[in-house]
Amino acid sequence: MIVPVGGEAKFLASQRLAVLPLDPDTHRRLLQLGIKTLGALVALPEEAVVSQFGGVGRQLWRLAAGLDSDPVTGRIVPEPIVAALTFFTPVGERDLLAHALDKLVDRALADPRRSGWRVQVVRLRAELEHRASWLVAATLKDPSATRARIAAPLKTQLERSPPAGAVERLVVEFTAFTPGTAELQLFARDASAAARAGRRRALQSAAREIALRIRRPMLYHVHRGATMVPPPRAALRVDRL
């Protein structure tokens, strides 16, 4: 990509925070402040950012503003992945919380952004009754993409220092990642291709069923952006696949 002279500010403003060399905690704090792009960061006074984040804040602000001339090292890292569960009634039983933790880790692992990456830092946060909160975090010595290994250190902390009250909402956050093995990266690409192929086969099957039901050719290729208007007096029902 070539950015014309004079267009640097406009180009940088639209970039997401993930392009900056952020540690997970700083990234989280910026997102909590509603800052999601470089433009939103630069819109703040530089000294205000420095007062909140120190020398790191100055470096980030100058990078976002395009004032740093150091060589750029490209990287693609997923933004934090969050999965949350709100209980109908507050929960205090540890076994139920551990079960909910497993479900949330599974949900976060299934996020498409996580494909091809292993989790390195995971946090478990609970919102308790009476507006109290509870938080534990774990840095995995061996980054993993399996539920058991990711949830294990959180369950240990849950047993050792459980929440001080009943939990109303439980949140799992993957905040740092490492690239998966070459095999894992290849599997992610293959899984994506398989999903696309599966959707195509399902559409082809539905098309054949419709053709059999109406007994005349009324199906055409549909391109993205096109509007399809059904023929008059045509009432079709396609069973869910």
* Range list for CATH 1.10.150.20 in the chain: 8-65
pLDDT at 230 over 80: no
Distance separating alpha carbons of residues 85 and 25, to the nearest angstrom: 22
Residues 6+ apart with CB under 8 A from 156: none
Distance separating alpha carbons of residues 30 and 65, to the nearest angstrom: 16
Span 136-185, pLDDT tens digits: 999 998 889 999 999 999 999 999 999 999 999 999 999 988 877 544 44
* Range list for CATH 3.30.1490.100 in the chain: 81-180
**Residues 146 and 71: beta-carbon distance below 8 Å:** no
Residues 6+ apart with CB under 8 A from 227: none
The CATH superfamily assigned to 81-180 is DNA polymerase, Y-family, little finger domain (3.30.1490.100)
Residues 6+ apart with CB under 8 A from 237: none
CA distances from 78 to 33, 38, 84, 105, 126 (A): 19, 16, 18, 16, 23
Tell me the backbone φ, ψ of residue 111, rounded to 5 degrees: -60, 130
CATH match of 8-65 with 1.10.150.20: yes
| Average pLDDT for 121-148 | 93
User: Which pLDDT score is estimated for 209?
Assistant: 65
User: Which pLDDT score is estimated for 66?
Assistant: 84
R_g of the chain computed on alpha carbons: 24
Look at 20-29, 77-86, 126-135 and tell me which has the smallest mean pLDDT. 20-29
Look at 39-43, 136-140, 170-174, 235-239 and tell me which has the smallest mean pLDDT. 235-239
Pairwise pLDDT comparison (189 vs 124), residue with the higher score: 124
User: Which pLDDT score is estimated for 9?
Assistant: 81
| Average pLDDT for 64-80 | 71
Give percent above pLDDT 70 in the chain. 70
Strand partners, 178: 118
pLDDT at 201 over 50: yes
User: Which pLDDT score is estimated for 17?
Assistant: 82
Mean pLDDT over the full length of the chain: 79
User: Which pLDDT score is estimated for 128?
Assistant: 95
User: Which pLDDT score is estimated for 234?
Assistant: 44
How many residues does this entry show for the chain? 241
What pTM, to 2 d.p., does this model score? 0.51
Question: How many helices (DSSP H) and strands (DSSP E) are in the chain?
Answer: 7, 4
